[in-house]
Structure 1
Amino acid sequence: MPDPDARAPRAEMKIVLVTPEIPGNTGTIGRTCVALDLELILIRPYGFDLTEKSVRRAGLDYWKHVRLTEYDDWGAFVQDRAPRRDQIFLFEDDGAAGTVYDPVYPPDAYLVFGRETKGLQPEIVGAYPDRIFRLPMRSPHIRSLNLANAATAVAYQAMRAYLA
């Protein structure tokens, strides 16, 4: 019988969406956050009203369980949370630091994603050039993945060591 004290440490990871545009993606990511017990951090402006039915529809009846924190902008988030550099993981299609499989994610990591049409703002990417990772895509026919799919894939990879 497994020793309950030998379990992996509890992770307190967060998914951060910077200026999300599509309510269904935000709702779906919220549902993933509930499944993995992650906090969802949303940074304004949004391309939708957070009370829209489409956010709640994608999150189903789980949306009420999302641990949600909102910030007016990236600066307010950084000022309030003061994340260490090694906690920040940015995800872009062309992440030069490697793939999502390369880092060892600390239990308090911030998994940061940008808006669906343009990604993260240049000032955010420019401040963390060594912290930008990508999901590998084998087909030359795909430019990018849906934000909700990408965030879910990254979250499960990042949480891998903590889900045992």
Structure 2
Amino acid sequence: MSDPRMKIVLVTPEIPYNTGAIGRTCVALNLELVLIKPYGFSLDEKAVRRAGTDYWKYVNLSEYDTWESFLEARKPRPESLFFFEEHGAQTFYDPDYPKDAFLVFGCESKGLPLAILNGLEDRTFRLPMLDSRVRSLNLANVAAAVVYQAMRPQLGG
């Protein structure tokens, strides 16, 4: 049975502070945080707990060893998957997000693997940046901006 709530999916996250901050956002919005291994840190690290403050213990957390094991276990509908990359074909303002959307983000240094993105250009989105001197935005900031935009109808926006 599918959970009707949105989920944030982090594929091979590298920085514990970002994962902790995203976990805190998930608690604030009653969302599940899905982590795909390997991680660039231990979930036992103080940094994850510190960024999530006292809320980390409340994170609805699921972990998977690989992207394939996640797909096999969760069986997400293709139209519920939304991938976020700095060179996405569309902006994150464009889609209508279903209530059961999986908002998928890659690791901080490399983004999402091409093996995941191949053939899914129509499911890949970006946050607009107006100054070309900025290569990318912080993952926790991007995830927060995306999830609040995706949940606007549910949050009264």
Distance in 2, matches of 1:128 and 1:48, equals 29
TM-score by length of 2: 0.96
Aligned counterpart, 1:85: 78
The secondary structure found in structure 1 opposite 2:91 is coil
Distance in 1, matches of 2:130 and 2:71, equals 34
Higher mean C-alpha displacement, 127-136 vs 45-54: 127-136
Matched, 1:76 2:63: no
Q: After the TM superposition, which segments of 4 or more aligned residues of structure 1 sit over 4 Å from their partners?
A: none
Aligned counterpart, 1:147: 139
Larger radius of gyration: 1
Q: Which amino acid aligns with 1:32?
A: T
Identity %: 64
Which residues in structure 2 correspond to 1:1-164 (within 5 Å)?
12-96=5-89, 98-164=90-156
Q: Which amino acid aligns with 2:117?
A: V
The secondary structure found in structure 1 opposite 2:103 is strand
For structure 2, the 5+ residue unaligned runs are none
- How far does residue 146 in structure 1 lie from its aligned partner after superposition? 0.3
Q: CA RMSD in A?
A: 1.1
Instruction: Number of aligned residue pairs: give it.
Output: 154
Distance in 2, matches of 1:130 and 1:103, equals 10
Task: State the Cα deviation string for residues 37-59 of structure 1 (Å, max 9, x = none).
Answer: 11000000000001100000000
Distance in 2, matches of 1:95 and 1:134, equals 5
Q: Which amino acid aligns with 1:51?
A: D
The secondary structure found in structure 1 opposite 2:145 is helix
